[in-house]
Every structure is written in C-alpha cells, then in structure tokens.
Amino acid sequence: MAQEFQKRGLKLIMDQVPNHSSDQHEWFKKSVQRIDPYTDYFVWRDAKGYDQDGKPIPPSNWIAVFGGSSWEWNEQRGQFYLHQFVIEQPDLNFENIEVRNEVLAIFKFWLDAGSKPGKADGKIRCMMVEAGVPPEAVKDYYGTKDKPVSHFPFNFNLLRVTPEQNASEVLGMVNAWYDAVPEGQWATFLLGNHDQKRVPTRWTEGSIDGANMINLLLQGTAVTYNGEEIGMTDLFLTWEETVDPKACNTDPERVLGFSRVPSESSGSFGFLVLVNLSEDSLTVNATVFDGVPLTGTVRTRSVGFHVPGTVIGGSINTRAVELGPRDSIVVEFNPLY
C-alpha cells in the first residue's frame, strides 16, 4: 500500500488518539480479568464507598467531556475505570511504562509502514504571567517569536479604575494596553482578584453589570474572580467568623485590609480531621467543635485503620468517633451554621 501511495504521489498521515482504546479491545478485556501484563493498562480505582442502595460511589466527581461521570463501574473486576470521553472508550494508564512502550511501538509500526508523521491530540496549555507591569513594559513578558516567554501577562489596568474616572479615561486605559501588546499577540483583561476589594465596593454597587460587560466583551481573554458574576460585595465578618487561612494566621488587630471573602455558595461542606498520635485507643466527641453535626460521612482513613465497620463513604456518629493507636480519619459534614 505504501508503495502504491508513493507511485501516485500520495502521503498517508495518521491521526492518532492515544488517550484511550475501545472497551472491546483485547487489552481492556484482559485488564478486566487482571491478566498480566494488561492488569494496569487502564486507570482503575476502588469505589469511594457505597450509597444507601448499596451502589458503588465513584472515586471522584470528575465529569466526562460528553457529560455524566468520568468513572464507570465494572462488575467483573469490582472497580471503576476512567473514561474522559464515552463509556466505551476507557483511558489508557500512561503512568504504566509498558503502556507508553506499547503506544510508541504502534507509532513506529505505522512510520515503518510508510506513514508520514501525523498528529496526536494533546492537552492544550496556556502560560500566563502575573507580573503587574505598566503597559510600556508588557512586551517583555510576551517575548518574541524566537524566544517566547508567555501567552499573555495579566492586565491589571482595570483594577486601577476608580469611581471618579469617566468613560474616556477608562477607554484610555484599555487602549493603552492594546497599544502595548505586540503584533500577533493576545490581550487579557480582569476586574478583580483576591488581593483587591470587590468591584461593587471599589466602584459602586450598580456598576458590576457594566464592568462585567466591559471585561467579557473586549477583544481578548477575560479573567474573572469568583463571585463577580453575581455582583458580590465586600462583607463585614467578625473575627470569630473568619475562615480564610491567611487572615486566620494574623489577629484581630492585624487582620488583612483587602477582600478575601470566599465565593458565595450553598451547602458548602465542612471537613473534620482527627489524628490519634498515641499508642492507646480513644473515643472523640467531635460535636464539641463549632458547627459539627451529630453525623458525618467518612471520606478517607489511614491504612490499617483499627476500628471495624468504619467504611469510606459510610456514615459515622460524630459524638463517638473511635480511633485505634495511630489511626487518622477525615469526616465530611454539613456545618450547623
């Protein structure tokens, strides 16, 4: 076939997708049966636990490209397998050197057969730089065609907008950045981040929709900080209500003077980490801690956990958490706030 291609001046270019195989492929069938060397040719994981109906719980909340969980339970093997696309396309385990060698051998086979170097789908990466430089210095952070530095540096110009400025001044700030971006490069815009007061607080509460429109509709990549899409404002918190780790490491007299209010959400989980550093068994009443309810869900536990019946994904009585010598456990709960 390759010779006939050459006679006709044709080139065979292979479009490879080495991410996965078919679930009907011999490798996968043998992996299901744990037949070596195929046992770990795919990404297999144990269930995180079991729900009230006895159904296995996926190892994570990852979503497949086409919707639904990225994990599918295989009854025969008793584990979940990863599929980033459809159920019928299980992901290969490229952490396994034998899988990498197999895929390279496949590429070599087709090259030896006369195929020209083709393309393989890969992960798209973007290099961003948080430099905080004025527009006139921005070109240095893009680099040149021969020596690229980043795809784009963050543009903090709109962070400096004040309520006193008019539309012409804001337009001037936008154009100053456009003028500084080297030809053929891409601009970026952002309104806020965790180091600044939130937009409605810095500007006015009625300004957030207009600010978002500017940010999202300008030519370039829009970067948003969580909460901007719903118009979050700065929130006064008492010291007792502070949950941000950086603020918690200060004190009421030296609390940070900028916005680090977490994104608003409903039903945010709490996590309780209990570690027994002694050689004795003990029972902990975790409800003495603020916000801990009477029951929780076991999310993980130490290897060789001593207390029988403590199942990952199962319910646990937080009033009496049993820990054996050197045991540790992580419990998830809905806070009583």
Residues involved in catalysis? 121, 130
DSSP bridge partners of 129: 153
Q: How far apart are CA 183 and CA 192, in angstroms?
A: 26
Per-residue CA distances from 32 to 27, 195, 313 (Å): 9, 50, 24
Residue pair 91/20 in contact (Cβ under 8 Å)? The answer is yes
Long-range contacts of 51-60 (CB under 8 A, 24+ apart): 51/313, 56/80, 57/313
Quickly list H helices, the chain: 2-7, 26-32, 97-112, 139-142, 167-180, 199-202, 208-217, 245-248
DSSP E strands in the chain: the ranges are 13-16, 44-45, 49-50, 56-57, 71-74, 79-82, 116-120, 128-129, 152-153, 188-190, 221-223, 270-275, 282-284, 295-301, 315-317, 321-323, 328-333
* Residue 336 identity: L
Degrees, nearest 5: CA angle 201-205-208: 95
Q: How far apart are CA 142 and CA 168, in angstroms?
A: 27
Q: What is the DSSP letter of 72?
A: E
Q: How far apart are CA 54 and CA 5, in angstroms?
A: 57
Q: Strand 116-120 and strand 13-16: pairing? A: parallel
